[in-house]
Amino acid sequence: MKTIKTFPFVPTNIDVQQEVPNKARISAYPFETGYGITLAHPIRRLLMSSSVGYAVIGIKIDGVTHEFDSIRGITEDVSLFIINLRKLHFVIKNEQQTSVVVNYSFSGGKILLGSDLKNNEIDVMNPEVYLATINDDAKIEFSLIINKGIGYVTSEDIRGTILDSFIPIDAYFTPVKKVTYEIENVLVKDDPTFEKVIFDIETDGRVNAVDAFKNAMQIMDSQMAIFKSKLEIQSVAIQDIEPESSENKILFQKIDTLNFSARCSNCLDKKGVKYIGELVLMKESDIKAIKNLGKRSYDEIVEKLRDIGYDIGAKLPNSIKDLLQKN
């Protein structure tokens, strides 16, 4: 027997199964009837379109001027060499870096594989990929720009962002290979119409499957935050803040809207910092004392706040402070 409700049931259970890093099954339940597909479909779209990955965006080969050139002593011409390079799944080891330039030099009777490109800065998740054959008396020197990004970016769009000496390469950043979901009915008390959503996620190894799911959740939360933050501002800030102080509305937005890195967001979340205004009010020493924050994350906070016109420890009107403390 159904009862009259004033608010939909909030799911209470989540299960994560992961036998290998690039595959995961994530299920959550119980959802109200119809809520399963309402949430599952956009999450799948975000996983497929907005997961962060790495790709080669530019190459410079010694003695080569364009992508239709040939390389002396190399079986493959430049265009085929680039095609092979695009098959590689790179990872920048330092998560704080969004772009690196790596230099290589190979010579003498060698079959060049993806494993040969590994170094202290980058890793290759599919090292078995064939790249080129170098003749006994030949030598090849080249540099790669490896970038962090989302989605697909054409070489024409990349051309204006790299040095003229580099040949731009179409970049496919998306590390998620497959996402499927199922919706099953589950019994809650005597009601069998509640739903369970089950995701099966597979990546190409550039990112952990569970991390990809977490990233999709962060993106969804940051996109939805605009509605929530604006409504909060209108219901609280606009009513309680003096008109001449309305430029301070941004202080009542969630810190998610600043799009901090995952490490920085996690540290602030564990500290319990929710609003931009709370961050502005904190002293430099208090922020630096946050566990596991680190200098890079601190610098990121300083830069993000300055972008919106505030410094750490800025003096705010008492009315603003009082409202932030209430929230």
- Residue 323 is part of a domain; what is its CATH number? 1.10.150.20
Confidence (pLDDT) at 22: 93
Domain that holds residue 310: 241-327
Same domain, 68 and 159: yes
- Residue 310 CA: distances (Å) to CA of 38, 47, 76, 247, 275: 38, 33, 54, 12, 13
Instruction: Assign 170 a pLDDT band (cuts: 50, 70, 90).
Output: very high
124 pLDDT more than 90: yes
Calpha distance 283→67 (Å, rounded): 53
Confidence (pLDDT) at 243: 36
Confidence (pLDDT) at 284: 86
Average pLDDT over residues 34-50: 94
130 pLDDT more than 90: yes
Same domain, 245 and 167: no
Calpha distance 320→277 (Å, rounded): 8
Average pLDDT over residues 38-50: 94
> Does any domain span residue 80?
yes
Selection from 181, 201, 135 nearest residue 39 by Cα: 181
Same domain, 246 and 154: no
Query: 220 versus 244: which is more confidently predicted?
Result: 220
Confidence (pLDDT) at 101: 95
> Does any domain span residue 179?
no
Average pLDDT over residues 195-215: 94
233-255: b (≥16 Cβ within 10 Å) or e: beeebeeebeeeeeebbbbbbbb
Average pLDDT over residues 217-245: 63
Instruction: Assign 184 a pLDDT band (cuts: 50, 70, 90).
Output: very high
Same domain, 155 and 250: no
- The DSSP symbol for 236 reads I
Same domain, 257 and 166: no
Same domain, 168 and 264: no
State the virtual CA torsion across 18, 22, 28, 31 in degrees, nearest 10: -160
DSSP 141-186: EEEEEEEEEESEE-HHHHHTTS-TTSEE--EE---EEEEEEEEEEE
Selection from 259, 290, 296 nearest residue 273 by Cα: 290
Average pLDDT over residues 309-318: 76
> Does any domain span residue 196?
no
Same domain, 156 and 249: no
Calpha distance 165→13 (Å, rounded): 54
Same domain, 168 and 59: yes
Say if residues 123 and 90 touch (Cβ distance below 8 Å).
yes
How many domains, the chain?
2
Confidence (pLDDT) at 157: 92
Selection from 134, 139, 163 nearest residue 57 by Cα: 163
* Matching residue, tokens 């011409």: 77
Same domain, 163 and 253: no
> Does any domain span residue 276?
yes
3-state secondary structure of 247: helix
pTM (whole model) above 0.85: no
Which of 63-72, 111-120, 122-131 has the weakest average pLDDT? 63-72
Same domain, 71 and 157: yes
> Does any domain span residue 259?
yes
* Matching residue, tokens 């008390």: 189
94 pLDDT more than 60: yes
> Does any domain span residue 77?
yes
Same domain, 57 and 168: yes
* Matching residue, tokens 């890093």: 21
Average pLDDT over residues 188-209: 92
Confidence (pLDDT) at 326: 54
> Does any domain span residue 203?
no
- Domain containing 72 — which CATH number? 2.170.120.12
Which of 27-31, 174-178, 277-281 has the weakest average pLDDT? 277-281
Say if residues 245 and 80 touch (Cβ distance below 8 Å).
no
Residue 149 has phi, psi (to 5 degrees) of -175, -175
| pLDDT tens sequence across 262-288 | 888 888 888 888 888 888 888 888 888
Which of 151, 172, 193 represents a domain boundary (last residue)?
Answer: 172
Which of 172, 203, 220 represents a domain boundary (last residue)?
Answer: 172
Q: Would the CA dihedral through 263, 222, 32, 209 be positive or negative?
A: negative
- The DSSP symbol for 75 reads S
Percent of the chain at pLDDT exceeding 70: 89
Which of 120, 154, 172 represents a domain boundary (last residue)?
Answer: 172
